[in-house]
Amino acid sequence: MKRLTLLTAFIATTLWISGAAQELDIDRTRTRKLDQWKPLIQKYSERHYGESTWELNPTCIVLHYTVTKGFPWNLVNTDSFKGETPGLAVHYVIDGKKIWEILPTNVRSRGAYGINHRAINIEMVADDAADLATKQETMDTCRELVRLLMKRHGVEKSHIYSHEDVGTMDRKKVPEVLDLVTGSPYHKIDPGQENMEYILNGL
């Protein structure tokens, strides 16, 4: 009996270590300064969503491409966008196997108009959909990050959206979308339908 108990404990420990090893390596050297970001995104959230808070309890994940060849520093450095504070920022940027965290997932970002109050936003470094389609490693890394975030936050696969989905501002398609300033649809095509399907099919 004692031998069985020890064997059970060994197996449980091995599984725990194995699970811990699957945690992704995330670079936090380019994170936004939260003492500056939080009050600005709180005011943004009050204007656009009627919620005076910087806190995020995510129910969905939105995928994008950066429209850049390299790391998009505007997601770290900008202090305004279209005449309104704060600047642009997402939660994660992915390039190949590299993952940078720009904001922690309990803080609201400004990455996808109409859904920042509910979404974790992830950018993949690519010029456009065709460029991203050649970057399988980036999309594979994104899939692994999405899988981890789904488990951590209880997000269902049906609530993994493209920015194109969100831009429709159609609550039948994306139940979370809302904006009190303007709820009109807007044009986005990222990250591309085939790229989206590639990531989703592997989950």
Four-residue CA torsion sign, 114, 117, 123, 129: negative
Which residue is listed with tokens 């194109």?
164
State the Cα torsion 14-18-23-27 to the nearest 10°. Answer: 90
Judge whether residue 1 has pLDDT over 60. no
Nearest to 200 by CA among 151, 142, 130, 134: 142
CA angle 151, 145, 15 (to 5 degrees): 55
| Among candidate residues 195, 197, 176, the one with its CA nearest the CA of residue 94 | 195
Tally of domains in the chain: 1
Residue 133 belongs to what domain range? 26-201
202 — pLDDT class (breaks 50, 70, 90): confident
Given this model, what pLDDT does residue 7 score?
38
> 65 lies in a domain?
yes
* CATH classification at residue 87: 3.40.80.10
Percent of the chain with pLDDT strictly greater than 70: 89
Rounded-to-integer distance, Cα 69 and Cα 75, Å: 14
Asked if residue 80 is part of any domain, the answer here is yes
pTM: 0.89
Which pLDDT tens digit goes with each residue over 81-104?
999 999 999 999 999 999 999 999
Q: Is the pLDDT of residue 109 over 60?
A: yes
| 10: in domain | no
Does 145 map to a domain?
yes
Kindly report the average pLDDT of the chain as a whole number. 91
